[in-house]
Amino acid sequence: MWRRAALRSFLTGRSGGAGPRSASGARLRYGPSVDGLDVRESRIAGLTVVDLVGVLDLYNAPAVRSRLLGLLAGGSPRCVLDLDGLTFIDTAGLSVIVGVVKRCRRAGGDVVLVVTTPAVLRLLRITGLDTVTVIRESAAAAAAALQESTTGRAAEGWPGSARWPRT
């Protein structure tokens, strides 16, 4: 156990009980790495923020899908999915994202994606996922968009707004 804590503090550059924090300052909870992909969970304004860091492909997609759905099963169906840490994503990874979005929407919630990486953004545009999901530049902006959607103010590009495409 102490080896894991020592390795974590070495990798994050932090020591002691402070623990790693996201860019917004929220405390990160590390789960086990899923075959080349780290799934990190944090909370912003009561919303679950899931950071995916690494490679999301056919090899690890089933494990990542079950992990994400497990994280969402115990909490709110509203979630921020941060894809900025992805270095590669294939169609199996896109399937995971679509599955999480559909599951959250069926439960009365939604998912906002955080994407600024040009390669991932290009893939979302090519596949048309940028027209059926809300994409923001930061986790804080994504959390704000989710908060706006629940207070009755339709954000630009949000379900209920004039720009929202019906599928």
> Which pLDDT score, from 0 to 100, does residue 166 have?
40
CATH number of the domain enclosing 34: 3.30.750.24
Whether residue 159 lies inside any domain: the answer is no
Counting the structural domains of the chain, the total is 1
Q: Is 5 within the bounds of a domain?
A: no
Does 74 reside within a domain? yes
Residue-wise pLDDT tens digits, 75-109: 778 899 999 999 999 999 999 999 999 999 998 88
For range 27-45, the mean pLDDT? 70
Residue 4 counted as domain residue:
no
Please give the residue range of the domain that contains residue 112. 21-150
Residue 71 Cα distances to 65, 127, 131, 165, angstroms? 10, 26, 25, 28
Q: What is the pLDDT of residues 148-165, one digit of tens each?
A: 876 443 444 444 444 444
Angle at 86 between CA 81 and CA 87, to 5 degrees: 170
Distance of alpha carbon 2 from its chain centroid, rounded? 29
Is 108 among the domain residues? yes
